[in-house]
């Protein structure tokens, strides 16, 4: 695994940052936290894999008085986007003395002249109170853009550092833009700040927005429980985010022990049959008169049947929430059992709420460390968080795969323990 960080050149300008510990490029955070594994690797003559530690460097590559930076947000909304934008601007301005920061409107469209989106000027004043707002003040978009056009725009505007906040697609764009920049031998740094509300980015212990999503999702589970217990044979069915990974559903269910069933994309389930989900739900309703079901949007896709792809090429998922609601209604009607099912889909509400304090603090640290990296001339990388340490990771590494809930791991076994649900398999 290559964890080396690309650099634009030697950093020679002394950093203005005083009263804060500086970090050198040879300070690393081990990938593997097991002492036994690390010792074994050393005994076998291997160098244990590690990530470069994030933080301010002694020297800068860019001269802050001449530097122009740009910030772009792309992909779906996620709590904390504005916190990251704000902290990037404040750190550039107050810590480094950078006076020119541009806000690129509506994702990468903002770098392509034909769209005609105006550029925003970002100052401490203009970003002063954006952290209380959900969404992104820059706007966002999907869909491919020409890399040549984007690099042209960066050169034309004389941008030295581009900060790109977004999901897997955005990180792919960072990689492609860096390739375009390298081909032209231009001196532009591109730093990614990965965004995934689902917490499914590889090599990142935590991503911003996830804490907020779990906090709000847990409240929704409580609401579903109130609804379920409020009427005879009540069912509260909650659909949560999680296209390929069920982290939000799993953590929210652990936060509130009211969920009786948690369905996630990683764990297939049978709907019909004596051990299938509907039969187990029937037993629960007859025994306890109420049930709370939490389903992640990517679960049960063999039943929900999504079709085609969106503008970004992501498969369109079938709506498992609506599918389950109808399947449950029909099943109980067939059995002659009266049911009171309440379906709650809070996904868009969760995406656009203000970040929790915990996420807001996390966003600030990510943004500060992104700025330190850019100022030092690092590029083609993302700022990440590995085992509670802030680190720099090559962008090509984080786009190689995705994290999922391990079905034999401690998270899923805790969920099974908390819900008492069986495997829904013969
Ligand atoms: P999310 O997954 O949360 O929705 P995302 O960043 O994956 O966020 P996308 O719409 O996939 O969202 O990508 C954002 C933008 O990144 C796209 O609008 C596109 O301009 C750019 N992009 C995506 N993939 C590539 C690629 N392979 N090469 C160049 N640009 C890309
Ligand atoms: Mg994506």
**Residue range 212-352+407-419, CATH number:** 3.40.50.460
Cα 159 from Cα 92, distance rounded (Å): 14
Cα 167 from Cα 133, distance rounded (Å): 20
351 annotated binding-site participant: yes
Residue-wise pLDDT for 154-207, tens only, equals 999 999 999 999 999 999 999 999 999 999 999 999 999 999 999 999 888 899
Which residue CA neighbors atom 6 of ligand 1 most closely?
167
Mean pLDDT (whole number) for 288-303: 96
Residue-wise pLDDT for 76-117, tens only, equals 999 999 999 999 999 999 999 999 999 999 999 999 999 999
The overall average pLDDT reported for the chain is: 96
Contact 293, 259 (CB under 8 A): yes
70 - beta bridge partners? 102, 162
Give the rounded distance of the alpha carbon of 418 from its chain centre: 26
Cα 366 from Cα 370, distance rounded (Å): 6
Residue-wise pLDDT for 344-370, tens only, equals 999 989 999 999 999 999 999 999 999
Q: Per-domain residue ranges for the chain?
A: 6-207+354-398, 212-352+407-419
Cα 329 from Cα 310, distance rounded (Å): 30
Cα 217 from Cα 258, distance rounded (Å): 12
**Residue range 6-207+354-398, CATH number:** 3.40.50.450
6-207+354-398 against 212-352+407-419: fold identical:
yes
CA of 167 to the centre of ligand 2 (A): 5
Host H or E run for residue 19: none
Ligand sitting nearest the alpha carbon of 142: 1
Report DSSP state, residue 92.
I
Cα 200 from Cα 148, distance rounded (Å): 30
Confidence label for 306 from pLDDT (cuts 50, 70 and 90): confident
What tokens were used for 188? 């532009």
Residues 6+ apart with CB under 8 A from 410: none
Residue from 72, 74, 180, 309 to probe ligand 1 pocket by mutation (most atoms less than 8 Å from CB): 74
Burial environment of residue 22 by CB neighbours within 10 A (0 to 12, 13 to 18, 19 or more): middle
Contact 318, 325 (CB under 8 A): no
- The angle formed by the CA atoms of residues 196, 201 and 202, to the nearest 5 degrees, is 170
Please indicate whether residue 198 is annotated as part of the active site. yes
Pick the residue with more confidence: 314 or 78? 78
Q: Does pLDDT of 148 surpass 90?
A: yes
Residues 6+ apart with CB under 8 A from 263: 246, 249, 269, 277, 293, 294, 295, 296, 299, 300, 320
Mean pLDDT (whole number) for 303-329: 92
Residue-wise pLDDT for 195-209, tens only, equals 999 999 988 889 999
Residue from 172, 181, 192, 351 to probe ligand 1 pocket by mutation (most atoms less than 8 Å from CB): 172
Indicate the pTM of the whole model: 0.95
CA of 38 to the centre of ligand 1 (A): 36
């Amino acid at each position: 695994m290559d964890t080396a960080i690309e650099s634009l050149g030697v950093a020679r300008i002394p950093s203005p940052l005083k009263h804060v510990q500086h970090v050198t490029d040879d300070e690393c955070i081990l990938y593997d936290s097991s002492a036994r594994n690390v010792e074994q690797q050393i005994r076998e003559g291997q160098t244990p894999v590690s990530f470069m530690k994030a933080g301010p460097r002694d020297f800068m590559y860019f001269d802050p008085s001449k530097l122009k930076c740009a910030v772009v947000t792309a992909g779906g909304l996620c709590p904390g986007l504005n916190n990251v934008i704000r902290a990037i601007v404040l750190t550039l301005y107050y810590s480094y003395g950078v006076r020119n920061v541009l806000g690129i409107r509506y994702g990468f469209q903002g770098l392509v002249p034909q769209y005609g989106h105006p550029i925003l000027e970002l100052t401490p004043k203009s970003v002063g109170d954006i952290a209380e707002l959900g969404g992104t003040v820059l706007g966002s978009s999907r869909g491919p853009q020409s890399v040549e056009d984007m690099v042209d725009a960066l050169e034309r505007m004389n941008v030295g550092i581009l900060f790109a906040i977004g999901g897997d697609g955005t990180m792919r764009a960072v990689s492609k833009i860096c390739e375009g920049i390298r081909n032209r031998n231009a001196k532009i740094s591109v730093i990614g700040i990965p965004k995934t509300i689902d917490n499914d980015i590889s090599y990142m212990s935590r991503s911003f927005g996830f804490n907020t999503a779990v906090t709000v999702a847990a409240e929704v589970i409580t609401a579903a429980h109130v609804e379920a217990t409020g009427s005879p044979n009540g069912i509260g069915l909650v659909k949560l985010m999680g296209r390929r990974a069920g982290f939000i559903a799993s953590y929210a269910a652990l936060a509130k022990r009211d969920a009786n069933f948690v369905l996630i994309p990683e764990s297939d389930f049978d709907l019909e049959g004596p051990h299938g989900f509907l039969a187990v739900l029937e037993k629960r309703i007859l025994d306890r008169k109420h049930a709370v079901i939490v389903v992640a949007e990517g679960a049960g896709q063999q039943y929900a049947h999504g079709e085609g792809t969106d503008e970004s090429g992501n498969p369109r998922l079938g709506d498992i929430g609506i599918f389950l609601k109808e399947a449950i209604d029909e099943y109980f009607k067939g059995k002659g059992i009266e049911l009171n099912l309440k379906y709650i889909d809070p996904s868009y509400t969760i995406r656009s709420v203000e970040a929790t304090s915990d996420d807001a603090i996390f966003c600030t640290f990510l943004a500060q460390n992104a700025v330190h990296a850019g100022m030092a001339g690092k590029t083609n990388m993302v700022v990440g968080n590995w085992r509670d340490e802030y680190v720099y990771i090559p962008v090509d590494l984080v786009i190689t795969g995705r994290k999922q809930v391990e079905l034999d791991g401690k998270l899923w076994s805790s969920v099974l323990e908390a819900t008492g649900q069986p495997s829904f398999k013969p």
